[in-house]
Structure 1
Amino acid sequence: MSESSDQVTDNTTLVSGVAKRYAAALLELAEDGGATQQVERDLAAFDAMLAESADLVRLVRSPVFTADEQLAALDALLAKAGIAGLAANFVKLAAKNRRLFVLPDMIKAFRALLAEKRGEATAEVVSAAPLSDANVAALKEALAASTGKKINIAARVDPALIGGLIVKVGSRMVDTSLRTKLNSLKFAMKEVG
């Protein structure tokens, strides 16, 4: 392994550790203040804003902006979005501490910790076409039976799969996509030829 790939691994681990520490502290504060559901809603709203705005992503990720510039912009944005209390303070603290670039991972870590406390698991599902409500319900039921946990589905569409699904729950992954099957067949044919 090269030195640069070791550094990438170390940076990923560092970011992950920072995200988990911040998320754990926020969850503890939210539980102590009886504001867990409100913080969850506010973080989901902020995460949705990130998904919709390339400018906001640039503000969050770019080291070009000073902490004061990020704070000023976030202050106005949070007020406009109606995000206040612990979630707003959390976002501002991340900006003040120059950790705003880790915020998306902090939100994921918060959700994961909260789901773990609730006995839930999130299944990341990638399909070639959007899943129907009946498909989602059947998938939740099957995954709940195999994991023993309440399952939340985080679905996305990737037409390149051609057909089938890729389902990931925790560290377990099942790939039934047609693309993977075709690639396996192509590889097997190369081995034979």
Structure 2
Amino acid sequence: MAPSSSEVAERYSEALFDLALENGELDAVERDLLSLEKALANSEDLRRLIKSPVFDNDTKQAGLVAVLERAAASRTVLNFARLLSANGRASALPGIIAAFNRRLAKHRGRVAAEAISAKPLTDEQERDLRSRLEAAVGKTVELSTQVDPSLLGGLIVKVGSRMIDSSLRTKLNRLQQTLKEA
């Protein structure tokens, strides 16, 4: 049975993390992967290149290496991109980056959290939420925020595999379901 895409991402991210740790390049690799992640987010062509079976591994490698060289990426990340492409795993890159970031956060005693709110949080609200989350999980929290007006009010907070949904939309949906059952 072929390994799942998440298993592939975990294996490659572990190999890259171990190599970066051994060579003292964690910060450089983190920076390079962040740059590549942004390039993938901003370029439909780059996403299509790594995902499409129409392009052969050499073409994928040339495209990835060109992007990384333009960003002055480290030799470690350049070689990693070459290896991924040669092994036909370029399409796993977004998952590998996410898995690497989780590994790095764990190594540094941090946890990523995401807060989704109906309106932008004030700086004070962000600080308060971050400190409450840090007290709850016992680690430094790297908080990212998003705005989703469809929530109507309240928050959805995701920390690791846990999600706390205290949005007004969810509460109204539950009330509607309860009324239908009555």
Tell me if TM exceeds 0.5. yes
Deviation for aligned residue 1:124: 2.0
Deviation for aligned residue 1:70: 0.8
1:175 corresponds in structure 2 to 165
Deviation for aligned residue 1:153: 1.1
**Structure 1 segment 5-154 matched on structure 2, within 5 A:** 14-154=4-144
Tell me the percent identity. 46
User: Which runs of no fewer than 5 residues in structure 2 stay unpaired?
Assistant: none
Superposed CA deviations along residues 124-181 of structure 1, whole A, max 9, x for unmatched, are 2222222222222111100000010100113222221111111111222110111111
Deviation for aligned residue 1:15: 0.9
User: Number of matched residues?
Assistant: 182
**Alignment TM-score, normalising by the size of structure 1:** 0.89
Structure 1 counterpart of 2:60, one-letter code: Q
Deviation for aligned residue 1:86: 1.1
2:151 corresponds in structure 1 to 161
Structure with the largest fraction of helix = 1
The worse-fitting range, judged by mean Cα deviation, of 115-124 and 87-96 is 87-96
Deviation for aligned residue 1:74: 1.7
RMSD: 1.6
Structure 1 counterpart of 2:130, one-letter code: K
**Alignment TM-score, normalising by the size of structure 2:** 0.94
User: What is the rounded CA distance, in whole Å, between the counterparts of 1:76 and 1:23 in structure 2?
Assistant: 21
User: What is the rounded CA distance, in whole Å, between the counterparts of 2:31 and 2:155 in structure 1?
Assistant: 29
User: What is the rounded CA distance, in whole Å, between the counterparts of 1:163 and 1:91 in structure 2?
Assistant: 43
Structure 2 counterpart of 1:45, one-letter code: S
User: What is the rounded CA distance, in whole Å, between the counterparts of 1:60 and 1:160 in structure 2?
Assistant: 33
